[in-house]
Chains A and B, each alone.
Chain A
Amino acid sequence: MRLELGTFPVREIAFGHRTHYADGVLQVNREELAARLGEDPNIVAVQLAIARPGESTRIIHVVDAVEPRVKVAGQGCAFPGFLGPAQTVGEGRSHRLAGVAVVATASLPGEIDSLSVKEAIVDMAGPGANISPFSQTLNLVLEFELAEGLLLPEKTASVRLAALKAAAYLGETVRQETPESVEVFELGPCPPDLPRIAYVSPLMHEGVLHNTFVYGVKTDSMPTLLHPNEALDGAIISADYHIAAYRSATYHHQNNPLIRELYRLHGRELCFVGMILCQTLIVSALEKERSASQVAKIARMLGAHGVLISMQNGGHGWADLLMTGQACERAGLKTVLVMAEMADADGRDPSMIMTVREADAIVSVGNMDELITLPGVERVLGGTEYLDAMNYEGALEASPSDEATTALRRLYCVNNQLGWGLVTASAY
């Protein structure tokens, strides 16, 4: 499978009469886009705003972030299973608007089966911005107001679809254009002496609220094999509304940094043999064992020498991660795990909920319990009050425009467990 990914860097984004891209400037017809997104009867209103790096702006209630894409050649569409048939993508040509993100926000209070949408904050400047993936992008912020009487999963479904529609709408601006650069992703032949590496991507699935979609379908089946190009080409969509710090946005799946790094070294230092998807946050012991064992089996069938296992969410998910790593090591595969830590604010609590002896190579993306003080800001997008209720220790009672101290937990994707960022934790 050969995927050409054409990049159109966006250096400025502005509202204007006509939605189009030219010379690095993305102009957006605010009314036209709002009208399209408002076609969903569940969406009562949508506000559009722009947030730029360095601005004294705080975005709250972030639900997802998506990179604008268009499928130019090859089967499928930008987000298969959502905006078109669930046809396999990852071949042909896609175009991306780089340096820009559609950031969907909505105030979604309440809970379903005790599961709730957690607060998620992006600061465009200050200490929170230093560690946030979306302080570096030009953000088209969509603030959705949902109809009364809907269940939470119905609300999140509407926001999810609208964010994907907006990303595809913006992507259309560069369908016919010539990209500034083109990357080619193809798992070509390797010299036989290179180590064969498989990438294992556990995807979050918890109840009816928190999920990861693959081709429009929730991840709750047995582990399966994907071509990494499929992930890069929009097959994986985030629906994780749990703890903000260790989420992976759809944007991160589209630009999965582990896949990109494995591709960078493919054919030179390693041979990237494929991507194994599995579920994380598995409920029963039997299913946990089956998943871990099947991942190891598929990796062996790929002839892998080593596996890299990323992570989504936590709790039981970390148990799943460790069990999967253990199964791989016991199958003779060298294994590295990527995970966030939950070591309490002072960093003195054990970072993980269980251990297996085989987990001797872990990359830490930081302790999400550590505290950070966010300064007051001039502008708040996404809502007017933090979403906290009483469902978390240390509710944020400040107004979102004021200075506040919070655990990193509430900062969107700052401890991303696909290894996006630079934050790590060390022994002190």
Chain B
Amino acid sequence: MAEPIRVVHYLNQFFAGIGGEQEANRPPDVVDRAVGPGKALEAALGGRAVVVATLVAGDNYVAERLAEAVTEIVEHVASFRPDVVVAGPAFNAGRYGTACGAVCAAVQRNLGIPTVTAMAPENPGVDLYRSSVLIVPTGESAAGMREALPALARLALKLGAGEPIGSAEAEGYLARGMRKNEPAARTGAERAVAMLLAKVRGQPYRTELPLPEFDPVTPAPPLRDASKALFALVTEAGIVPQGNPDGIEARRATKWARYPIGNLDDLTAEAFTCVHGGFDNRFVHQDPDRILPLDAVRALEREGVIGRLHDWYYVTVGAGAPISRARTFGREIAQELVQAGVQAVIFSAT
């Protein structure tokens, strides 16, 4: 028979049976066996795993010096060479949940040992750590212990054995904000027709792609006086000097660039082109001003409608761009524009 999986269990002072608030300042301590809910956890592990140590720390001790306390705890964990670390369940205890999340994140990051914890979905530890830590959802109070432990044990066994972890739904943890491909039992067409029939019949159905939430973009307040403001042109439409000197890619661009327009009144087809690979841009090749309206903005400048146009325009290609990357580009470009004293941006997109 294979060696049993080695589990280190993390608990706060209360669940370890040491005491309540009066003991919440206790520094980390090590017990070389399962204690408190760890006993039921060990039972749920069904003999395939043993709790080789329980680490206990006071809620306030950890909360008041999180980084330092977690470092101490991780050192203790390392000394037991576990295959997996289990923390909690913390239910709706905020300090405890945060500690569980922090310990798990640090153990994974620093020791490369897999971890799993459990807490109520509304525990503040969830928002802080769910993107990196496996969290089994629980009820709000310790009354949910009986439901929480089997799920926790099942995941601990898989992690400890180095087995792949399935989807959030299949394994019963809180989704980490990540989509992964996997084979379905039926084709997309079969699933689509079945989903539609359920929907039409008023039966329950579940979308395979919950709608993502986008950051709301709050429009800036209007300019007090456009005729005195410095304007800039920014675009994701891939308008670049002929020859694309910085090699901006036609899709999923990895860079942005800026080019001088201080002495230009018009973007000619001889001097500029469009490298955006996500739309039919014949009309831009004929006249790049159609996407980056330099000619029109110069006219507004001459008429005094706007103060002045910044001497550089900024460009990338937005086609297929990951939003995380677009956000970085946006910050970098905005920082330069702010430093240059730009107060208004005309952003053309395709």
Contacts and interface: CB of A to CB of B under 8 A. Distances in A.
B320 A208 contact: no
A195 B201 contact: yes
Nearest to A130: B183
Contacts of A262: 193
A344 B180 contact: no
A391 interface: yes
Contact of A206 (B199, B253, B279): B279
Interface centre among B169, B193, B211 (most CB of A within 10 A): B193
The main secondary structure of chain A at its interface with chain B is: loop
A428 B250 contact: no
A56 B176 CA distance: 37
A264 B170 CA distance: 30
A208 B279 CA distance: 11
Interface in B210-249: 210-212, 214, 238, 247, 249
Nearest to B177: A348
Contacts of A195: 197, 200-201
B47 interface: no
Contacts of A422: 183-188
B212 A366 contact: no
Given A363-B195, A428-B179, A115 B277 contact: yes
**Which of A310, A314, A350 counts the most B-chain CB atoms under 10 A from its CB?**
A350
Counting chain A residues whose Cβ lies within 8 A of the other chain, the interface size class is: 35 or more
Contacts of A365: 188
Contacts of A391: 249-251, 277
A242 to B, nearest CB: 9
Interface in A3-25: none
Interface string B14-42: 00000000000000000000000000000
Contacts of A207: 279-282
Nearest to B283: A113
B179 A425 contact: yes
B191 interface: yes
Contacts of A350: 212, 214, 323
B196 interface: yes
A308 B188 CA distance: 12
A257 B187 CA distance: 9
B184 A423 contact: yes
Contacts of A416: 188
Contacts of A344: 322, 324
A366 B279 CA distance: 24
Interface string A136-149: 00000000000000
Contacts of B338: none
A270 interface: yes
A354 B213 CA distance: 9
A351 B240 CA distance: 29
A154 interface: no
Given A113-B280, A206-B279, A392-B252, A265 B193 contact: yes
Nearest to A265: B193
A364 interface: yes
Contacts of B169: 426-427
Given A334-B196, A361-B199, A426 B249 contact: no
Nearest to B196: A336
B251 to A, nearest CB: 5
B213 to A, nearest CB: 8
A308 B276 contact: no
B345 interface: no
B137 to A, nearest CB: 13
Interface string A356-386: 0101111111110110000000000000000
B277 A116 contact: yes
A114 interface: yes
B181 A423 contact: yes
A362 B181 contact: no
A415 to B, nearest CB: 9
Contacts of B170: 426
Interface of B: 131, 165, 167-170, 175-193, 195-197, 199-201, 205, 207-212, 214, 238, 247, 249-254, 274-282, 285, 319-320, 322-324
17 contacts: A114-B250, A131-B183, A270-B193, A306-B197, A308-B193, A315-B319, A338-B192, A342-B320, A364-B209, A367-B181, A370-B181, A392-B250, A419-B187, A419-B189, A423-B183, A426-B208, A428-B165
The 5 closest A-B pairs by CB, nearest first: A207-B280, A419-B188, A419-B189, A257-B189, A426-B167
Interface of A: 111, 113-116, 131, 195, 197, 206-208, 257-258, 260-262, 265, 269-270, 283, 305-308, 310, 314-316, 334-336, 338-339, 341-344, 346-352, 354-355, 357, 359-367, 369-370, 390-394, 408, 416-428
